[in-house]
Chains A and B, each alone.
Chain A
């Protein structure tokens, strides 16, 4: 039974002889590929249950949801939850915080991986290079709880920094609880955790540069900096543009745990972002419908931004997250 039937698959794309009736072909392919379908099934079921089914759960945004009667029994209220959002200053504060953080990180986080990649790339010794790479990738694998704990131990009220300041007669500063420093703090945390990891993509782009270009440039009299400007940078620009666009598509998402974990320390006024806002109104205050509506607004605007960003990516000739 296995022989010819199974062997046929590679030939399928190469064009088949006289096509049998459509349904028969279906049945045959189904019989041939049943094993593959069985393999795919668990993953598709999991994605369907935990990714697609909850989409319908967004219906509670249009209800006055009560946990006791469930979605089926709850009152439909149309768009009144959305109307509430429009007039809710806390929602707009969270939005403003989110956008501020995105903008700040775009300026102060985004260039760091590029610089790091250039630095690592310029290291001549393969051993040193490997070592630096291993070290800078590492924090990416730490949890946010851990990263924030480490920051607290370094910069917090009882941390190393203040130990040093106190023992040298300076007045201590608690970086971890100062709302004015929060933007800088969270950006520093992001840099510490992920800049090294982010450099991987740029390193990959750098490794594809044809070295004869450098050679030719050098022969033409270009110095170190001119070579970087005219050879290295152009190789990076497509990646930079792509990542920039992708980041803009996620302007409303700044990460959950980092802000949830530090919200108590600096106060909701600075640390409340859209994700934490949805969590606190929904799960903590049991205002499920309102929180779902807020989440839905965020999700839809986010989706629109991602799609728009992809469109832009295609327009400038990049591949985007999905191809056309």
Chain B
């Protein structure tokens, strides 16, 4: 890593200025990381530590994965994790493929009808279809209480499509031309030339979609009636935010120790929170480096 060099014209900061900046940066980092620290720590703390702390654990004291073992050994939370994972994988694949195809299809200058089609896409930026009509449509298509209702209505995000398209348009035309001279059709150009050059942007777009599906709350809340179909975010709301008892977990809680279910439940609740965060944290570092490159270019060019 190259060492930071202060340009000659920039005077060194005063001691006070340096201190103030350090404090502000520290506070900002702490504001984001502290809640995560507390939640993760509480989820892996034994119930004695939780009792001692009188609630959430801030200082580590003991370690157990009991809460996770309990949550992931079947029951509501396990099922919702599987549901969320399924929706995320299937939805992301579907969305990315559809978006990539359309972005490429609209990125060739002078192609047939690309202007009106692009207009159809761009116009969706300006207005939403409205909650009630969308709900009635989903209802009349018979999608209520199906997982398809969580994927199809938001499968294509115009923003992602436009970002990808403007990236594709910046790929040197010569490359595409030479592939064409070699007899490649549009599908082959997309898979052999354009996609390999667009891995970064595609990864970012995939992350956006995946995060959207993993975090999906409102569609599920709106369209899924049966609790056994709930994805993780709905479970998180019911059992952690609203404090309803967790059906699959509560009997075991009381058997954990003599201090009562309440304390152990806190570890279990925080474990649900952690389960909701972990996939994001796992994927994030791999994609994060592409943010500035991919997103800003697309976002600013629109």
Interface-facing stretch out of B70-78, B251-259, B294-302: B294-302
Query: Chain A residues with Cβ under 8 A from B102's Cβ?
Result: 39-40, 42-44
**Interface contact B110-A12, CB-CB below 8 Å:** yes
The reply to whether B186 and A46 contact each other, CB–CB distance below 8 Å, is: no
Q: Is B246 among interface residues, defined by CB-CB distance under 8 A? A: no
Contacts of A29 in B (CB 8 A): 111-112
> In the complex, are the beta carbons of B28 and A261 less than 8 A apart?
no
Q: How far is the CA of A30 from the CA of B33 in the complex (A)?
A: 55
Per-position binary interface string of chain A over residues 4-22, scored 1 when its CB falls under 8 Å from any chain B CB and 0 otherwise: 0011011011000000000
* In contact, A215 and B7 (Cβ under 8 angstroms): yes
A178 in the interface (beta carbon within 8 A): no
Q: Which B residues are CB-close (under 8 A) to A179?
A: none
Interchain pairs with CB closer than 8 A, number: 296
Most buried by B among A12, A47, A167, A203: A47
Within 8 A of B (CB), among A267-291: 275, 278-279, 282-283, 288, 291
Does B267 lie at the interface of the complex (its beta carbon under 8 Å from any beta carbon of A)? no
Partner of B35 from the list A70, A154, A196, A200 (CB cut-off 8 Å) is A154
Q: Is the CB of B181 within 8 A of A7?
A: yes
Q: Does A108 contact B (CB under 8 A)?
A: no
Q: Give B205 Cβ to nearest chain A Cβ, in Å.
A: 13
Q: Tell me, rounded to whole Å, the shortest Cβ–Cβ distance linking A125 to chain B.
A: 5
Interface residues on A, range: 35 or more
Which of B's residues lie within 8 Å of A, judged by CB?
1-2, 4, 6-7, 9-11, 13, 21, 24-25, 28-29, 31-36, 38-39, 53-56, 58, 98-99, 101-102, 104-106, 108-114, 117, 120-122, 124-137, 139-140, 152-156, 158, 161, 173, 177, 180-181, 183, 185-187, 190, 207, 211, 214-218, 221-222, 233, 236-237, 240-242, 270, 273, 276-277, 280-281, 284-285, 288, 291-292, 295-296, 299-300, 302
In the complex, 10 of the A-B residue pairs with CB atoms within 8 angstroms, ordered by the A residue number, are: A33-B113, A38-B105, A132-B28, A137-B291, A158-B55, A192-B31, A201-B300, A275-B131, A295-B130, A323-B302
Q: Return the 3 tightest CB-CB contacts between A and B, nearest first.
A: A57-B133, A43-B102, A143-B215
